Amino acid sequence: MNRIHATAVVHPQACLGDDVEIGPFAIVEDGVLIGDRCRIGAYSLIATGTRLGADNHLYPGCILGLPPQDLQWRGTSSVLEIGARNVLREGVTLHRGSAPDSATVVGSDNYFMVQSHAGHNCRIGDRVILANHVLLAGHVEVGDGAFVGGGAAMHQFGRIGRLVMVSGLSRLRKDVPPFLMVAEDSRIVGLNVVGLRRAGWSWDEVRAVRRAVRILYREGNNVSQALARLEPLATASPAVAELAGFVRSSRRGICTRFGRGPARDEPDSAA
């Protein structure tokens, strides 16, 4: 049995699953799909084009599925797809896709803290944590298990790899390869060893990726040289293969600054 507060506004054409709770003054627009056992907090707005899986918990003031902040958007239909068991804290905003019939996609088991934002056409994996006031511009991709610290911002079309840890207040202008830690202005500061161990990695797996990171960042190789040297390691380690594949497929280039020394200008291309 659904529990809808008397002050909530739910469009007759919205589709609600079983045991859904909608709080005071919340608004659910035409065509919205809400899965079983979702809880929608007070003053939240779920706009047309939004599809929620089961067991999502929206705290008060969440705004989901409004049109993209894209000057090229021409009013075409698009969607926001959200998986299951996500927690969206107060004031989270997620926009739907920009191009016709495109989508912003959020996976499952994520935790988005107060006033974090993901723009149009972002693709966010599973078990991702966005801390307070994180800003993801349009078309950003975030891999499974990544942690993005408070106030960090990612440039449009950027990518954050799997199990990356982003320090609070970071400015990310380039892609962040998987398994690394990044801070300040796109500066790689090491391997996310704690995160890898919490994800169940063996020490052999950690050591293989640590060797790959040394080749990529600490032995004076450019990116092309590093990729060539990573090939034999990649055949023996799926994680190294994933790291190398991410770097090879980067369109914006990867973060190339390494360490905690004085900032230097980063080249426009990481290739």
* Residue 141 resides in a domain: yes
Query: Is residue 186 assigned to a domain?
Result: no
Mean pLDDT, rounded, for 39-46: 98
CA distance 23 to 41: 5
Residue 137 lies in a domain: yes
Each residue of 127-162: pLDDT tens digit?
999 999 999 999 999 999 999 999 999 999 999 999
What percentage of the chain reaches a pLDDT higher than 70?
Answer: 96
Closest CA to 55 of 103, 17, 104, 95: 17
Q: Is residue 115 part of a domain?
A: yes
How many structural domains compose the chain?
1
Q: What is the pLDDT of residue 260?
A: 74
Instruction: Report residue 262's pLDDT band, with 50, 70 and 90 as the boundaries.
Output: low
177 within some domain: no
What local confidence, expressed as pLDDT, does residue 266 receive? 45
Instruction: For the chain, give the mean pLDDT.
Output: 95
* Proportion of the chain above pLDDT 90, given as a percent: 95
Task: Calculate Rg over the CA atoms of the chain.
Answer: 20
* Average pLDDT for 81-104: 98
Q: 30: phi > 0 → left, psi -120 to 50 → alpha, else beta; which?
A: beta
For residue 261, name the pLDDT band (cuts at 50, 70, 90): low
Q: Is residue 62 part of a domain?
A: yes
What domain range includes position 97? 3-157
Does residue 75 lie within any of the structural domains?
yes
41, burial (CB in 10 Å: exposed 0-12, middle 13-18, buried 19+): buried
Angle between helices 223-236 and 203-217 (to 10 degrees): 160
Residue 179 lies in a domain: no
Residue 264: is its pLDDT beyond 80? Answer: no
- pLDDT (average), residues 110-119: 98
CATH number, domain of 9, equals 2.160.10.10
More confident of the two residues 262 and 58: 58
